[in-house]
Amino acid sequence: MLVILAVVAALSAFLVLYNRTAARQLILNKEQIALIDLTSRARFLSLQTYIQNLGTTPVGKVQICGVGMKIDKTDVDGNGVKNEAFIYRDLVAENETCEIADNYTDFNYGTALIDENGSPIEERLPEEQFSIKLNPLTRFGTTTTETNLDFILFIPPDPQIFINDKNNPASKAEVIIEAADQTGALSNFVKIIINDAGYVSTE
């Protein structure tokens, strides 16, 4: 009888551990799909802006020159950085053209950046459907693997694609989403790879 109870207890412990591992993997896969969808949505929104990209911006208005997706990495240092990704618009002020749009790597989260004339340069889209917050059990890679994608920007109509820097863009970048076990140690992760042709692959 004691042997049977011991076997049942061991099997139960194994099943609990297996279920937790499987649940974490399902969460990781869900977050991976959501981030790929957000990247695709940014690219689609950039194409929608093409008709607004002709000529000079009318007086008193801003022009959307491109749409991108920005990674805001985990607050591992307690500095207020959020564990999310969001879509933003790259803008120029009145009487300017998209060819001179600038400051692609300078962000402040949640609000528009302002140029010397008080006009917005980049603007985060505020709606919830244009951002994702990772599940609290997951985070962007910060331990054995590191997320090196800061942003990807799509400029229509091709679209041109810039990764992390407009003047010296990367040829590709990776996003790591990882899950930790009860002790906080890395248990497993998923990877998204984006190249400068806009091709997205996963591992």
Confidence band of 159 (pLDDT split at 50, 70, 90):
confident
pLDDT beyond 70 at 157: yes
How far apart, in whole angstroms, are the C-alpha atoms of residue 102 and residue 41? 23
For residues 142 and 161, what is the distance between their CA atoms, to the nearest angstrom? 26
Confidence grade of residue 83 (pLDDT, cut at 50, 70, 90): confident
pLDDT(160) > 80:
yes
136 against 53, higher pLDDT: 136
Torsion of CA 117, 150, 180, 199, to 10 degrees: 130
Comparing 6 with 95, which gets the higher pLDDT? 95
Distance, C-alpha 11 to centroid of its chain = 40
Q: How far is CA 95 from the centre of its chain?
A: 31
User: Given pLDDT bands bounded at 50, 70 and 90, which one contains residue 60?
Assistant: low
Structure tokens at 5: 């109870």
Query: Is the pLDDT assigned to residue 146 strictly greater than 80?
Result: no
Q: Which of 70-74, 102-106, 179-183 has the highest mean pLDDT?
A: 70-74
Q: What is the mean pLDDT of the chain?
A: 73
> Binning pLDDT at 50, 70 and 90, where does residue 193 land?
very high
